[in-house]
């Protein structure tokens, strides 16, 4: 959306932009990743939505590139394609027992509580009401989101746009303990202070930090001295280590210098074997061989996202990104004509939403600089693309359809005294859009 905005807002070159999404709705992780209780961050979608009001920008939802249409065919209709499809898969832990029932990827859990059309509802509706102790692996912002959603009372979540079935399932949660595992020390955690602090301010969950976990080497001390946000993160956990529990129903145990080495269970995960680690002096951590066991019937692996290859587009398997130079897709050291990349699929799954604005704007600058060298032969117009879509028989949701979905979600929310409720299934989204299913 930031790329579309940068393209349409410049004056040098007349352009039209089609924003294609495989889902019937736009905004990717803003809709299906940002935690629903972070209402002000989520409201960035109102800003993004304004881009569709600009003449020349259209939404085409429900069209999966690589499945419904090849990249090669897209090139027949567009001078340039910018790939901004993010990093949709989870990174693997690589420990025995990772695939036991009850061990889930944070990507899947987040998709579930955000109401993603592909979410595995049955699994979470079975696991959440039957788990009493959970382990969350990782200490990034996604781990913090997941922990907060698990630890909050439903009353703390009803103002969000979470689908009703999510609230109903969380209402049945029996969780008392949530263990969060950081494999390095408090100075190496990747969460941000604002998000971290929230874990200590929950209505019915105490936070527990062991003093023995607060390990700092020379590199940590240097990082604390040089980086205010790291210093603040450390300050927060140090204060938590002085707190006593206050008898709340849930406890969040924030562990450092602890990494999972095995998940054990029978028909379902029952415990996590955790190895104590020590800082290796080079910013990393290594195992000490000393282990302890945490009882857990739910494990959420929050160790990062991973980008996927798209047929017809170069891919760097090692980094799980599209190789590029200044946003121009590269193959064998040369740019691929008419292909550009921005966002997580360009630079990997790091940074906050605003990072993508700068990133997309930089790629758009490269595209505009190349514009004079794009194929001289006139390409078919957007109208020809519409004809192709019609003839293909694929049900797409256009900008007007998206507005209808938006209105339907607001109306659904209002009927429950909420601002909005996310509509989950593709079928319901298409119905709301009045899309004609062929
Ligand atoms: P992340 O910040 O990279 O965190 C991944 C975590 O997993 C790290 O603690 C990492 O530890 C740990 N990890 C990786 N491999 C592991 C292993 N094999 N065993 C144990 N731990 C392992 O990624 P993320 O949390 O998925 O977030 C992705 C991006 O989205 C980040 O830039 C984040 O800030 C952003 N985000 C922002 C917000 C917000 O602003 N509110 C919310 C959600 C996400 P090491 O550091 O030791 O590798």
Residues 401 and 387: beta-carbon distance below 8 Å: no
In whole angstroms, give the CA distance from residue 403 to residue 16: 20
The residue nearest atom 11 of ligand 1, judged by CA position, is 138
Residues 63 and 85: beta-carbon distance below 8 Å: no
Ligand 1 centroid to residue 141 C-alpha, Å: 6
What tens digit of pLDDT does each residue of 25-63 get? Answer: 999 999 999 999 999 999 999 999 999 999 999 999 999
233 CB near ligand 1 (under 6 Å)? no
184 CB near ligand 1 (under 6 Å)? yes
350 CB near ligand 1 (under 6 Å)? yes
Q: What are phi and psi of 201, to 5 degrees?
A: -120, 25
CA geometry: angle 249, 252, 257, nearest 5 deg: 155
Atom number in ligand 1 closest to CA 303: 7
Q: Where are the alpha helices (DSSP H) in 227-290?
A: 228-241
What tens digit of pLDDT does each residue of 154-182 get? Answer: 999 999 999 999 999 999 999 999 999 99
Whether the CA torsion 19, 24, 25, 30 is positive or negative: it is: negative
Ligand 1 centroid to residue 30 C-alpha, Å: 17
The residue nearest atom 3 of ligand 1, judged by CA position, is 304
In whole angstroms, give the CA distance from residue 217 to residue 255: 17
Distinct helix (H) and strand (E) counts, the chain: 17, 17
Instruction: Give the pLDDT of residue 243.
Output: 95
Our mutation pick for probing the ligand 1 site, out of 37, 135, 142, counting the most ligand atoms within 8 A of Cβ, is 142
354 CB near ligand 1 (under 6 Å)? no
434 CB near ligand 1 (under 6 Å)? no
What tens digit of pLDDT does each residue of 373-424 get? Answer: 776 666 777 788 999 999 999 989 999 999 999 999 999 999 999 999 999 9
Ligand 1 centroid to residue 252 C-alpha, Å: 18
Our mutation pick for probing the ligand 1 site, out of 35, 257, 304, 351, counting the most ligand atoms within 8 A of Cβ, is 304
CA proximity to 17, closest of 52, 63, 41: 52
What tens digit of pLDDT does each residue of 280-318 get? Answer: 999 999 999 999 999 999 999 999 999 999 999 999 999
110 CB near ligand 1 (under 6 Å)? no
Ligand 1 centroid to residue 90 C-alpha, Å: 11
Quick one: 268 exposed, middle or buried, by C-beta within 10 A (0-12, 13-18, 19+)?
A: middle
CA geometry: angle 280, 283, 286, nearest 5 deg: 35
In whole angstroms, give the CA distance from residue 105 to residue 55: 40
Residue in this structure with the two tokens 């857990």, named with its chain if needed = 296
The residue nearest atom 4 of ligand 1, judged by CA position, is 140
Ligand 1 centroid to residue 303 C-alpha, Å: 6
Whether the CA torsion 185, 187, 191, 194 is positive or negative: it is: positive
What tens digit of pLDDT does each residue of 236-251 get? Answer: 999 999 999 999 999 9
Domains of the chain with bracketed CATH: 2-88+307-396 (3.40.50.720), 90-305 (3.50.50.60)
Instruction: Give the pLDDT of residue 437.
Output: 47
What tens digit of pLDDT does each residue of 56-74 get? Answer: 999 999 999 999 999 999 9
């Amino acid at each position: 959306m930031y790329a579309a905005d940068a393209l349409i807002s410049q004056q040098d070159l007349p352009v039209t932009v089609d924003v294609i999404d495989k889902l019937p709705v736009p905004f990717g992780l803003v809709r299906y990743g940002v935690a629903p209780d972070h209402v002000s961050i989520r409201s960035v979608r109102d800003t993004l939505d304004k881009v569709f009001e600009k003449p020349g920008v259209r939404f085409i939802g429900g069209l999966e590139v690589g499945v419904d249409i090849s990249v090669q065919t897209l090139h027949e209709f567009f001078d340039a394609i910018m790939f901004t499809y993010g990093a949709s898969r989870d990174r693997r832990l690589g420990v025995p027992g990772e695939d036991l029932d009850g061990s889930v990827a944070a990507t899947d859990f987040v998709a579930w509580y955000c109401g993603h059309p592909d979410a595995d509802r049955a699994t979470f509706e079975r696991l959440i009401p039957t788990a009493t102790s959970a382990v969350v692996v990782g200490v990034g912002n996604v781990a913090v989101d997941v922990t907060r959603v698990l630890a909050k009372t439903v009353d703390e979540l009803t103002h969000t746009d979470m689908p009703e079935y999510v609230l109903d399932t969380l209402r049945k949660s029996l969780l008392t303990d949530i263990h969060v595992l950081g494999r390095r020390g408090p100075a190496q955690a990747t969460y941000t202070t604002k998000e971290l602090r929230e874990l200590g301010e929950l209505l019915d969950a105490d936070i527990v930090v062991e003093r023995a976990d607060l390990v700092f080497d020379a590199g940590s001390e240097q990082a604390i001295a040089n980086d205010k946000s790291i210093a603040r993160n450390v300050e927060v956990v140090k204060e938590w280590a002085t707190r006593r529990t206050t008898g709340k129903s849930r406890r969040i145990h924030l562990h450092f210098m602890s990494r999972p080495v095995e998940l054990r269970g029978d028909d379902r995960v029952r415990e996590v074997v955790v190895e104590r680690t020590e800082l290796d002096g080079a910013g990393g951590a290594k195992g000490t061989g000393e282990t302890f066991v945490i009882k857990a019937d739910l494990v959420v692996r929050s160790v990062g996202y991973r980008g996927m290859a798209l047929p017809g587009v170069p891919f760097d398997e090692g980094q799980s990104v599209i190789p590029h130079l200044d946003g121009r897709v590269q193959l064998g050291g040369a740019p691929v004509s008419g292909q550009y990349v921005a966002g997580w699929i360009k630079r990997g799954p790091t940074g906050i939403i605003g990072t993508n604005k700068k990133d997309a704007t930089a790629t758009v600058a490269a595209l505009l600089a190349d514009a004079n060298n794009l194929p001289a032969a006139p390409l078919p117009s957007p109208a020809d693309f519409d004809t192709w879509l019609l003839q293909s028989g694929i049900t797409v949701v256009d900008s007007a359809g998206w507005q209808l979905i938006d209105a339907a979600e607001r109306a659904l929310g209002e009927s429950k005294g909420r601002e909005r409720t996310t509509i989950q299934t593709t079928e319901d989204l298409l119905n709301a859009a009045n899309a004609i299913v062929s």
